Amino acid sequence: MEVLDLVTLTPLMERTRGRPEVAIGLIDGPIVKDHPDFDGQNIRELPGATAAGCSQLNSVACQHGTFVAGMMLAKRSSTAPAICPGCSLVVRPIFSEMVSGNGSLPSATPQELAAAIIEVIHAGVRVINLSSALAQSSPKGENKLEEALNYAAHHGAIIVAAAGNQGTVGSSAITRHPWVIPVVSCDRNGLPTSESNLGDSIGRRGLKAPGQNITSLGTNGKPLTFSGTSAAAPFVTGTIALLWSEFPAAEAAQVSLAITRCGRQARNALVPPLLDAWAAYQTVASTHNGRKMP
């Protein structure tokens, strides 16, 4: 798949499908768990404040969650990128199926996000995929979110967050946190798409990944093609899960540093470099102190 080659994921995916001991936390919409391309996969659902499964297949929340989950855990024979089908997925729905989309990221309050982050960490995840705008933001709510992000750092759970699709320059309480890896959407030439948010913290710590016309699982049995930073973030999340599948003893800070310092392009003040999954693998392989999986 062309987009996998763009970020050098192909050779890493040829080495490993991932391991079930590596759990990915998906804080998103609910997913169609009985989709044929999820059959036999290691998926666990945490109900949270909303129903775990999809009750409305055409809802934005259900489509969004299923699409992102498919990018990481669909079977390799599917039309999705299917980056880490051998890993486990812990789904924590946070978006209401009653809310319609307008082309931006679905939103949640900082308190809702904070609670979801804590819950998936308690469930044993090692990396969290987060695609959410902040709604009803307040100093108290942002303090709760910062505490949850600090909690993730303390427990070694890496957080990958979509940078957002408003085409603005700046940061949010999510993307400016030093433990978060923000992800910008790029086209097939590696250039950031016009709708992607950019900013100082995004440029300093983030990555670019393909986010233009990405195809993954739909909720009605047919593939869905989607663009935006939500489609870009799973490339980074899946890469981290594959790295930990190969090097389970590697520490979170080591994996995070390897993946953010091995970009294929120069890092500048606003625009992060393109993900280079294979270079990150080589970096961890040359420096980690733990045992590599056979």
DSSP annotation of 70 reads: H
Q: Whole-model pTM? A: 0.94
Expressed as residue numbers, the domain containing 253 is: 2-286
pLDDT band per the 50, 70, 90 thresholds, residue 97: low
Is the pLDDT at 104 greater than 60? The verdict is: no
- Kindly report, residue by residue over 244-282, the tens digit of the pLDDT: 999 999 999 999 999 999 877 777 889 999 999 999 999
Amino acid at 187: D
Position 140 in a domain: yes
Lowest mean pLDDT among 113-117, 217-221, 285-289: 285-289
* Within-domain flag for 159: yes
Q: Which of 88-102, 205-219, 237-251, 266-280 has the lowest mean pLDDT?
A: 88-102
Domains contained in the chain, number: 1
Q: Are 129 and 113 in contact (CB under 8 A)?
A: no
In-domain check, residue 99: yes
- How far is the C-alpha of 12 from the C-alpha of 281, rounded, in Å? 7
Residue 108 lies in a domain: yes
For residue 292, being part of any structural domain is answered with no
* Residue 293, in any domain of the structure: no
Q: Residue 208 sits in a domain of what CATH number?
A: 3.40.50.200
Looking at residue 16, what is its pLDDT? 97
The answer, yes or no, to whether residue 161 has pLDDT greater than 70, is yes
104: Cβ contacts below 8 Å, ≥ 6 apart: 133, 164, 165, 166
In a domain, residue 213? The reply is yes
Amino acid at 156: G
In a domain, 294, yes or no: no
